[in-house]
Amino acid sequence: MKTAVFSARRYDKTMLARANATAGHELRFLEDRLTAASAPLAAGCEAVCVFVNDTVDAEVLAILAGQGTRLVATRSTGYNHIDAAAAARFGIAVVRVTDYSPHSVAEFAVGLLLAVNRKIARASVRTREGNFDLDGLMGFDLHGKTVGVIGTGKIGTIFARIMSGFGCTVLGYDRYPSAAFEALGGRYVPVDELLASSDVVSLHCPLTEETRHIVNAESLARAKRGSVLVNTSRGGLVDTEAATAALKTGQLGGLAIDVYEQEASLFFQDLSSTIICDDVIQRLVSFPNVIVTGHQAFFTEEAIGQIMQTTIDSITAFERGEELVNRIPKSS
């Protein structure tokens, strides 16, 4: 099936082509992000393959539908970038990747927590310059601390298990409590209690209208003073300006983020030779107790291999008229 692959980086091309070796779909790799302006590049493609910072709103879907697209396959779990209701109106099926190594993200969240708490990135920069001073690098033991997990699905539960292994008390908040989370010793509490009691809060729920800015000025004011916030889920969960203000007063003791609300115009590209006009992110990266990575939590060989294989399998299933097991609901 003719498939336009937007936001295609080198690794997307290699890994997707590998997964496609036997399926034989005709892949048109495009480095552009999908927007209303770039949508005509998919003309004649029945399938369009996208990633998290592509725009798949009603305007773009209308253009795609008019050009003959009948399937949108996102190479991600989250699908907040897709207007699923509009897709249904235009008769476009939408599939995502539900099952790929949740360990990739959970392990990265732990890595970010250790990096920000123990100042590992700062220390590495120092030693490269021959500075072996420890001043400013003190962290705290995770053992014995309380870790709050918001969203105890696949990734949140694995993160909770790892933190439990560190000797932490694990609290959880989720609309749908899971037995697996409780089986590892996690205890569900209301979100306010989680924020007030946790030394570390890690976000693992999807971005929906309900969860947008779940971390905001009010919730940060109710959080335990000096707590550390980790976000590997979606940037829109955090009101970044409120987090910046809380960092300035010390109410927030540290921030480790792999996702950022305005990441679409920044992430997945090398901007090191340009002037970055986003003052919010530039201010954030200047804090000594903040670590920012560019949406790489999923980026392991295992996860990418599974993402690409599932995406190709979904396209093949669609072509054959088979059931789409990873189809997303009509509205999020």
Does 202 interact with ligand NAD (rule: CB under 6 A)? no
Told to judge if 222 belongs to the known catalytic residues of this protein, a careful annotator would answer no
Residues 266-325 that bind ligand NAD (CB under 6 A): 295, 297-298
Catalytic position from the list 128, 234, 261, 302: 234
3-class secondary structure, 297: coil
Q: What distance in Å separates the CA atoms of residue 172 and residue 193, rounded to the nearest whole number? A: 10
Tell me the closest approach of the beta carbon of residue 9 to ligand NAD, in angstroms: 14
> Maximum distance among all alpha carbons in the chain?
63
Q: What distance in Å separates the CA atoms of residue 71 and residue 52, rounded to the nearest whole number? A: 16
Residues 6+ apart with CB under 8 A from 259: 231, 232, 233, 234, 235, 237, 295
Site for ligand NAD (CB under 6 A): which residue of 129, 135, 209, 210?
210
3-class secondary structure, 235: helix
Told to judge if 319 belongs to the known catalytic residues of this protein, a careful annotator would answer no
Q: Compose the 72-101 pattern: x for residues touching ligand NAD by CB under 6 A, - for all others.
A: -----xx-----------------------
Told to judge if 81 belongs to the known catalytic residues of this protein, a careful annotator would answer no
Does 211 interact with ligand NAD (rule: CB under 6 A)? yes
Contacts with ligand NAD by CB under 6 A: the residue count is 30
Nearest to 107 by CA among 52, 51, 165, 146: 165
Residue 14 burial (CB count, 10 A): 12
Residues 6+ apart with CB under 8 A from 21: none
Residues 221-260 that bind ligand NAD (CB under 6 A): 232-234, 258-259
Does 132 interact with ligand NAD (rule: CB under 6 A)? no
- The catalytic site residues sit at 234, 263, 295
| Chain positions contacting ligand NAD, by CB under 6 A | 77-78, 102, 105, 150-156, 173-176, 204-208, 210-211, 232-234, 258-259, 295, 297-298
